[in-house]
Amino acid sequence: MSRFYYYLVMINMIANIISAVPTILLRYRNDGAVLSLIVGIILGLVIVIVYTKFFNAFPGKTFPELLVQTTSKWFYYPLLFFMAVMWFIAGISTLITYSFLLIRYLTPDIPIMLIGLTLILSIIFGCFMKTDRVLYTIEIVFVINFPIIIFIIIKAYTSKNLNWDFIREAMLHVVQAPNIHAVSSSIFLFLGVVNLVIFNRFFTQKQNFGLKQIIVLVFIAIATTFTTYFIPIGFHGSESIGELVYPWIATSDSMRMRYFVIERLVYVFLLLYLSMAFLSTLIHWHVAVELFKFIFKLEKMKF
């Protein structure tokens, strides 16, 4: 598979680590969250495989183009409009989350409207770019931030403040029945693949998607899900974690870099999430813009 395919999958996973996903999962930590993670991983991988194989069968074709060839206007116009609205809401929810994070941790004196407008203006131009340019932008930002992601993960797993007994205790709840809310949240981590509804136009040649690619996705899925849920518990314990609004912010603030320019890792983490929030919103809004352009016959509007 192309590296750009993995960017779409991984950016959605990383961007949702700090959003509502871990908060929802940890809320049900004593009510079936562990088994829900397992069920969510299985269902999420099924969704990824089905979506990938479907669009891989139609190289260079977007979902609207396939609908035009196979369905009637009365069906695909309302469907595409609904999808465009959902993608727009997904992008703006990421912006709202990060705006509140900025006010709480970095810029408490700046009005939220000013922060929101600044973030929107920085993203809105990219939404109207061609799909290949959007992917190249994603690659540049992701490659720059990837070493920071690896560093934070290594720092978390090697920290002296990480108590593996807390993690083992949390794993004991695996015998409890899964919770539908926790299952839905864990599945949401895997939904970056659905952006192929538009980004599939970039993959003009049929990709090699076999056992090796599935194994890579399984490894990424398990590692991301385990890190998202268990690392905050390992730092704060099963009881204290329920009092935190943003578990991963508190977790990153529990780590220190004693001999670095910035000692508190939380500031590095917030800057990293700013990049991931930018990419996630750019992807979602680009899909929404392309769907609206198709609906209202504005395909020639490109930058």
The kind and range of the H/E element at 67 are helix 63-70
The pLDDT assigned to 303 comes to: 53
Q: How confident is the model at residue 299 (pLDDT cuts 50, 70, 90)?
A: low
What's the longest Cα–Cα distance across the chain? 63
Pull the structure tokens for residue 66.
């396939």
As a whole number of angstroms, the distance between CA 46 and CA 57 comes to 17
- Cα(208)–Cα(261) distance, integer angstroms: 44
Give per-residue pLDDT as tens, 221-249: 888 888 888 899 888 888 888 777 788 88
Confidence of residue 85 (pLDDT cuts 50, 70, 90): very high
CB 199 within 8 A of CB 135: yes
| pLDDT score at 301 | 59
Given a contact cutoff of 8 angstroms between Cβ atoms, the answer to whether 29 and 238 are in contact is yes
When the pLDDT of each residue in the chain is averaged and rounded to a whole number, the result is 85
Per-residue pLDDT at 302 exceeds 60: no
300 pLDDT higher than 70: no
Is pTM beyond 0.85? Reply is yes
The pLDDT of residue 187 is above 60: yes
Q: Hunting for tokens 């590692």 — which residue is that? A: 223
Q: Is the pLDDT of residue 82 over 90?
A: yes
